Chains A and B, each alone.
Chain A
């Protein structure tokens, strides 16, 4: 991110969102809304004196980056390596922005006069040739799986929360402590939470086995706790991954094959008092077991972003049944979409780990650059054409085109198809009430001729009166 921010050929628009896309391959017009940060990026040098100065002497609001495990102030740097190194103000909690009544200590502290409470959102129009959609994923909300007790028992964590706990820059400085300040003596890591499950998501999220192993290793290393992994299948494809799994087996991490039925605090033995008990069928020994632990980690799976539907409409790309964006071909064209000039990178297309994401993103960037360098595009000849003499200007075709390839020429009073945008699906051809649109290579005459040819014998028999 830092490197991208510094690169002379890369313009990084942070705190921004795409609100409109028009045009076609090589000629996209993208409308970007830049949300106000209330701190001027051109003046700020990142000394962070403003945060110190804030009238809230103590942080009071949940820190999104640390998943609410610690608190922040209304003016904050989202995370230590944030690019640009410029703080921003949260308008929902800042006294000045909320009520207009504040001593504005942050502005006072700022030598460079970078704090600007008057900042408004800006709309920018960009002309681009290609688009790479890399909107990432969302982890499954464990509240959807109530029997694991997330939100009910404080010591049930998601893997991402534990990831912050073990991080040296995290809320505890890398110390793994439970919500009551205790150090866990035993930890249970539940795999496949919201993955490979008919009740939530059916797919394997691909990264959870390995990140669970990593957390098991780190938790054992940081706390010396007994670590149990509860898994359905251990899936460790990739360079060095199986070796890592074997290393953990040697380290003394326990692996129990079975899907955990529930997490409960209902102790049935004295040694279970005050602990979380995992009820699980150990399928290796064919027995139901109760395993008491201090800390439960849910290895949550990956799913599409909640706004994936809106994004797919915005960029005119389709989604696979699992909700992730659909690639043009699952094996041969994993980076392209069916919309020419729009490429996919990373987990927006499906769950994948870091090296695969880097490779995918590299491929997307190369494809975009190759497309732009060529200067021209090869399009399929299977497109729709409007016979302008027949077009009655009803505009029905405009509403059915999934690629907005048809525009209405008001001066000539006809609809026109943009060859670069048209993918040749033929929906408009079937829709046109005047029969004015022809789908090349699939014209009505051609299809009718096929029907006639296929049924020629039948018709002949009927004419000659041969009993059918």
Chain B
């Protein structure tokens, strides 16, 4: 029986104005990027509650990306990215305490003009998560429920 190869599932929370635009452009320009990253659009990274990332891991994601506009001046909403800047490092520290490897969670900035950078991130991050292996949180949770 052939072993099923591990395909990481990655959720990306992208802000509408910068990284989502970059991802859109990357797609329209047919830049090579893996199908492992699924994107959820929010208006601003400031909208992203840490619970979304935890929920994504709990539902079975192997990696999560949060990306928005470059600080300081790029944010469409003046300073939403600053909130992300404060929240995400705290969350990353918390994730480590939950036993989630640091590399499973990426947060950063990609502007609307940086489509190649998004494609690169999608490729690199997928490979990184692939090398770490499955998180199996959903399986553990499923076992607990049984």
Known: A451-B56, A454-B11, A455-B59. A318 touches B76 (CB 8 A): yes
State which of A318, A319, A458 has its C-beta within 8 Å of the C-beta of B61.
A458
Residues of B within 8 A of A427 (CB): 44, 46-47, 77, 80, 83
Interface residue stretch chosen among A62-70, A134-142, A355-363, A442-450: A442-450
User: B16-67: which have CB < 8 Å to A?
Assistant: 38, 40, 42-44, 46-49, 52, 55-56, 59-61
Is residue A320 contacting chain B, with contact meaning CB distance below 8 A? yes
Encoded as 1 (CB less than 8 Å from any A CB) or 0, chain B from 110 to 136 comes to: 000000000000000000000000101
Q: How many chain B residues touch the partner (CB < 8 A)?
A: 38
Residues of A within 8 A of B4 (CB): 466-468
Is residue A43 contacting chain B, with contact meaning CB distance below 8 A? no
Encoded as 1 (CB less than 8 Å from any A CB) or 0, chain B from 64 to 79 comes to: 0000001011111111
CB–CB A442/B83 < 8 A? no
CB–CB A451/B46 < 8 A? no
Is residue A47 contacting chain B, with contact meaning CB distance below 8 A? no
Interface residue stretch chosen among A189-197, A268-276, A418-426: A418-426
User: B90-112: which have CB < 8 Å to A?
Assistant: none
Known: A427-B83, A444-B49, A462-B139. A338 touches B76 (CB 8 A): yes
- Smallest CB–CB gap between B106 and chain A, Å? 17
Q: Which among A321, A423, A427, A431 has the greatest number of chain B C-beta atoms within 10 A?
A: A427
User: CA of A444 to CA of B46 in the docked complex: distance in angstroms?
Assistant: 13
State which of B55, B59, B70, B78 has its C-beta within 8 Å of the C-beta of A321.
B70
CB–CB A447/B73 < 8 A? no
CB–CB B61/A455 < 8 A? yes
User: CA of A165 to CA of B79 in the docked complex: distance in angstroms?
Assistant: 44
CB–CB B55/A426 < 8 A? no
Is residue A347 contacting chain B, with contact meaning CB distance below 8 A? no
Considering only CB atoms, which chain B residue lies closest to A326 in the complex?
B73
> Could you list which residues of chain B lie within 8 angstroms of chain A, going by C-beta atoms?
3-4, 6, 9, 11, 38, 40, 42-44, 46-49, 52, 55-56, 59-61, 70, 72-80, 83, 87, 134, 136, 138-139, 141-142
22 inter-chain pairs at a CB distance below 8 angstroms, sorted by A residue, are A318-B76, A320-B73, A321-B74, A402-B77, A402-B78, A403-B78, A426-B44, A427-B83, A429-B49, A430-B87, A447-B40, A447-B52, A448-B52, A450-B40, A451-B40, A451-B55, A459-B60, A462-B136, A462-B142, A463-B142, A466-B4, A468-B136
